[in-house]
A and B are shown apart, each in its own frame.
Chain A
Amino acid sequence: MCSISSLQAGCSEVNRKIRSYLIRLAVTLLISLVAMIALSEGTYLLMREEYDRGPQVFQIVIPAGAAEKVAQGEEIPTIPEDQIFVTGDTLEVINQDRVDHQLGPIWVPAGAKGSLVLEDAEKFSYSCSFSPSNYLGFDVRQATTWQTRLTGLGISVPTTTAFLFIYSLVAFPVEGRKNQGSQEPTT
């Protein structure tokens, strides 16, 4: 038969074990978090690209008389050829000319401003009414931002924690307390 005192002792042993597991879990979570942040940020710093930035607004101003200049084969300053955009960037076209202009999907009536958010990472060529070649190329890439890195941590930390936790249980099992006074046999 079990006495009340032995039940209480068993209960306290279970509680103690649960606490030990929780502490073990917390420690492995902390280790995983620190390790993954170090790995993620270290890799980011080493591999960082110039275009790893947040979205920005890029303005193209079409000056008055641009249509005539383009018809004569003159260049209108637009955006540098090596400019790399990132998804989320906004392309603004300010048309100061007396005629409508078009840059790909952006149609800008005379005297107005048109804008487009670049949503897809790809290289493409837009038809362009204010370029003598009639085309303007764009290189849009996916930037590594703090949101991307945070998403990476959200995936890597729980999995690493689970792995470390199971590994630690195999390598260093949580043991019950030895030599507890209440469990000693009495005569």
Chain B
Amino acid sequence: MKSKLPLFGFGLLVGVIVFWAGWKFLDRPYTFRGSVIDPPMPMADFLLVDQHGQPFSLSGQQGKVVLLFFGYTHCPDVCPVTLAEFTRIKEELGAAASQVSFVYITVDPERDTVPVMNAYMRSFDPDFFALTETREKLEEVWSRFGVYQSRQESTSAGGYLVDHTARTYLLDQQGRLVATYPYEMGEADVVADVQHILSAGGVQ
């Protein structure tokens, strides 16, 4: 028995070290994958119209996480790619996606009318919100989110193009801006951040 004591002591020491290392590993604070706004910034409410002609307000999304993107239906590249990423994010979130609002706000209100937005969003996911309004009302929203947009004349059949900010915004259940993501953000990163916010009930 006496000869087994050092072995028992060594095993105990290894066990304690493994437990401590595991505890430290699991106890690490979550690191957001996106660019974080710290502390989360409350965003002023806005009222726009969705693709069904129904009013949509940011305050109406209280209790839900919001993923927000600015684009336009005639966009040849950035917008369809981002909306396709939104659909994949929704898929990856599974049942938790019911607690997330996917919102797309136009930067081209002259062409993006309610019927156009409705038809466009059916190509991606009819449950996403596609918002439009008058330019005057939209400019307020663009300004709050620091959105750049500039009309570029083009000879293409699709008409003019609009240069615009391509970042995606993540808002928590209290309507606060938590993080932003650049174009082609990587769905896995966004999913991880959204899942973290959902599990934590918001950002502390």
Asked if residues B38 and A105 are in contact (CB atoms below 8 Å), the reply is no
Complex interface: chain B residues within 8 A of A112 (CB): 37-38, 41
Q: How far is the CA of A100 from the CA of B180 in the complex (A)?
A: 13
Q: A107 at the A/B interface (Cβ < 8 Å)?
A: yes
The residues in A between 108 and 122 inclusive whose CB is less than 8 angstroms from any CB of B are: 108-109, 112-117, 119
Complex interface: chain A residues within 8 A of B167 (CB): 105, 107
Asked if residues A116 and B36 are in contact (CB atoms below 8 Å), the reply is yes
| A20 to B: closest C-beta gap in Å | 16
A105-B182, A107-B167 known; A114+B35 contact, CB < 8 A: yes
List residues of A whose CB falls within 8 A of some B CB: 92, 100, 102, 104-109, 112-117, 119
Complex interface: chain B residues within 8 A of A113 (CB): 37-39
Complex interface: chain B residues within 8 A of A109 (CB): 37, 41, 146, 177
Asked if residues B31 and A100 are in contact (CB atoms below 8 Å), the reply is no
Asked if residues A116 and B41 are in contact (CB atoms below 8 Å), the reply is no
Give 1 or 0 for each of B22-54: 1 = CB within 8 Å of chain A CB. 000000000111111111010000000000000
Asked if residues A106 and B41 are in contact (CB atoms below 8 Å), the reply is no
Q: How far is the CA of A114 from the CA of B38 in the complex (A)?
A: 6
Q: With contacts defined as CB atoms under 8 Å apart, how many contacts are there between chain A and chain B in the complex?
A: 42
Complex interface: chain A residues within 8 A of B36 (CB): 114-116
Mostly, the A contact residues are strand
Complex interface: chain A residues within 8 A of B181 (CB): 105
Complex interface: chain A residues within 8 A of B35 (CB): 105-107, 114-116
Q: How far is the CA of A105 from the CA of B33 in the complex (A)?
A: 11
Q: How far is the CA of A181 from the CA of B180 in the complex (A)?
A: 82
Q: Of all chain A residues, which has the CB nearest B180?
A: A107
| B171 to A: closest C-beta gap in Å | 13
Complex interface: chain A residues within 8 A of B177 (CB): 109
Q: How far is the CA of A114 from the CA of B39 in the complex (A)?
A: 9
Q: How far is the CA of A112 from the CA of B32 in the complex (A)?
A: 17
Q: How far is the CA of A119 from the CA of B88 in the complex (A)?
A: 23
Q: How far is the CA of A108 from the CA of B146 in the complex (A)?
A: 9
Complex interface: chain A residues within 8 A of B39 (CB): 113
| B4 to A: closest C-beta gap in Å | 13
Complex interface: chain B residues within 8 A of A119 (CB): 33
